[in-house]
Structure formats: C-alpha cells, structure tokens
Amino acid sequence: MAEIVIVPDRAAAGALVAEQIAKLVTERPDAVLGLATGSTPLPVYEALRERLADVDVSRVRGFALDEYVGIDPAHPESYASVIRREVVEPLGLSPELIRTPPAHDEDLAGAGARYEAEIAAAGGIDLQILGIGTDGHIGFNEPGSSFASRTRIKTLTEQTREDNARFFDSIDDVPRHCLTQGLGTIHDARHLVLLAFGEGKAEALAGAVEGPVTASLPGSAIQLHPHVTVVVDEAAASQLRFADYYRHAYANKPEWQTI
Ligand code: GLP
C-alpha cells in the first residue's frame, strides 16, 4: 500500500518531499522528475530552492503532467509558463530539458504519442509529483479515465473549471480541454508522491487511498502502484479511516528507510 505521511502543515510537506528529490538528484544528476502544477506542489518547489542550492541541477530532466489546450503558451496560466516561473527559473534547471505536453502543436491528434515517446526516450520518470482534484482527478484524468490511458486530450469537468477559475480573470477564460498524461503513463513512473492539503481535499483523498479502486475516482489508481508516498496535512487527512495506523507506522519507521 501507499505510505501515508501526515504532517503539520504545507511547509513540512514541502521540506520532506524536497529532501527526497535532493537525494535523488544527488545520486542521479540526470534524474527525470514528473512535475505537477496547481497550488499543491508549490511548497515543494519553494523548499527545493534552498535544498538544491548547492546541488548540480544542470542535467535534471522534467516532464509536466498536463497542459491546457486553447490558451496561448505565453499566457501566464499556461502550464508551460507556470513550470517556467515556479520551477525552472527559481531552481536554475536547464529549460531545454524540461518539457510540457505539446498542447499547442498544429498536429494535436499526434501530440500525446509524441510526448509519450519523449518520456520513453528519457528512460521514464523517476519521481512523479501529484496533486489531486476535488473530483478525484490526478493530472487532468477526470472521472471515467481508463487506468490504461496514455497522454491524450481530455475534456475538463465543470467542477475542475470552477476550481481553477481562481487562476483566471473569469470562468469563461478557463479552457475546456487539456492534454494530460494518462493514468497508465503516471503508473509507469518509478515513485509517485501525492500531496494534498486542506479540508476541501479530504473526501477525494480518502477515496483515493482507502476507497475502492475505480475509474470513477481516478486518484484511486495509486493503489495499484508499488511505490507511492502520500503526504498530507491534518485537514486533508481528516476523513482517513486508518489515520492512527498511518501515524503509528511513520513514527516507528526504521531510520534507514526513506520515503
Ligand atoms: C489541477 C492540475 C492537477 C492538480 C489538481 C489540483 O488542475 N491539473 O495536476 O493536481 O488540479 O489542483 P490544486 O493543487 O490547485 O488544488
């Protein structure tokens, strides 16, 4: 099962995951990171600024989980812009080694397959950062997504558009489509690290971690993966049935084990 780590706040989550990423990059300077957007991973990227300051990151490679279709790549809320602003520039990564799904290509029908080929050519993703939507999506795999799905175009649910409207001037500006890694793509990453904060994520998180494995709650796909770490604050953990056990297991974890 996934390891569930309940931390006091976002900063503690950021520090924990940044430590793991720094270890990975130190051991493997050309590590391949799976990068998430949205507000959830921001504490990780913030913690990484300090944690990676003395680490050579020039060869680190990265693949974003998803991208909106239908907004200019130069738009400040395109995920290409977000990744550049929140990750590439502050961490000093090499821009040419960090990719976002090519949702702006003329040949959109073939864009998913091209992105899959790029990930495969890089040798696959070592550590994939994930958030979770209030409707249970990971990446932009909305309810009903196949567990075997690869990078492809998806239609966003209205709930997701409303959730993401805070990043735009109005909900009318939120795109209706995206190009997202599939659940099968995410499953191929060697280590999944899912973060969730706040009461608003509690129901989706409990479904993903403890509910039945179902395409109706795409986050539940993490239960099929052999190496998953879930890092959450108390509010997001508030609907977990076995929270006390997760705390007990983490408190008694052998020192030599990492997440
Ligand atoms: C976004 C992203 C997801 C993210 C999720 C939660 O729209 N496509 O990758 O994990 O929805 O967003 P947030 O972290 O802002 O709550």
Share of the chain above pLDDT 90, in %: 97
Whether residue 259 lies inside any domain: the answer is no
Whether residue 18 lies inside any domain: the answer is yes
Which residues sit with their C-beta closer than 6 Å to ligand 1?
36-40, 65-66, 131-133, 139-140, 160, 164
**Sheet of strand 66-69: strand arrangement:** 66-69, 177-180, 152-155
If one counts the domains in the chain, the total is 1
Whether residue 210 lies inside any domain: the answer is yes
- Over the stretch 58-86, which tens digit does the pLDDT of each residue have? 999 999 999 999 999 999 999 999 999 99
Asked if 29 and 59 touch (Cβ cutoff 8 Å), the reply is: yes
Whether residue 256 lies inside any domain: the answer is no
| Residue of 67, 142, 163, 188 marked catalytic | 142
Ligand 1 center to 255 CA (angstroms): 32
Give the three-state DSSP class for 199. helix
Write out the residue range of the structural domain in which residue 247 sits. 3-251
Whether residue 246 lies inside any domain: the answer is yes
Q: Note the pLDDT of residue 255.
A: 85
Integer Cα distance of 183 and 10 in angstroms:
26
Q: Note the pLDDT of residue 64.
A: 98
Q: Looking at the predicted structure, is the pLDDT value of residue 1 above 80?
A: no
Ligand 1 center to 38 CA (angstroms): 4
Q: Supply the CATH number for residue 187's domain.
A: 3.40.50.1360
- CA-atom Rg of the chain in angstroms: 17
Q: Note the pLDDT of residue 259.
A: 86
Q: Note the pLDDT of residue 258.
A: 81
Overall average pLDDT of the 6-32 stretch: 98
Ligand 1 center to 256 CA (angstroms): 32
Ligand 1, pocket-test mutation among 10, 17, 37, 217, most atoms within 8 A of CB: 37
Give the three-state DSSP class for 7. strand
Q: Note the pLDDT of residue 56.
A: 97
Integer Cα distance of 233 and 64 in angstroms:
24
Ligand 1 center to 198 CA (angstroms): 13
- Over the stretch 171-184, which tens digit does the pLDDT of each residue have? 999 999 999 999 99
Q: Note the pLDDT of residue 235.
A: 98
Share of the chain above pLDDT 70, in %: 100
Whether residue 44 lies inside any domain: the answer is yes
Integer Cα distance of 255 and 121 in angstroms:
35
Whether residue 258 lies inside any domain: the answer is no
Q: Looking at the predicted structure, is the pLDDT value of residue 129 above 80?
A: yes
Q: Note the pLDDT of residue 60.
A: 98
- Over the stretch 81-95, which tens digit does the pLDDT of each residue have? 999 999 999 999 999
Cα angle for residues 48, 178, 110 (degrees, 5° grid): 105
Confidence class for position 256, pLDDT limits 50, 70, 90? confident
Q: Note the pLDDT of residue 215.
A: 98
137: annotated active-site residue? yes
Integer Cα distance of 129 and 17 in angstroms:
9
Q: Note the pLDDT of residue 257.
A: 84
Whether residue 181 lies inside any domain: the answer is yes
Query: Per the structure block, which two tokens stand in for 81?
Result: 């812009």
For residue 79, the ligand 1 atom closest to its alpha carbon is 8
Ligand 1, pocket-test mutation among 40, 158, 180, most atoms within 8 A of CB: 40
For residue 41, the ligand 1 atom closest to its alpha carbon is 14
pTM of the shown model? 0.97
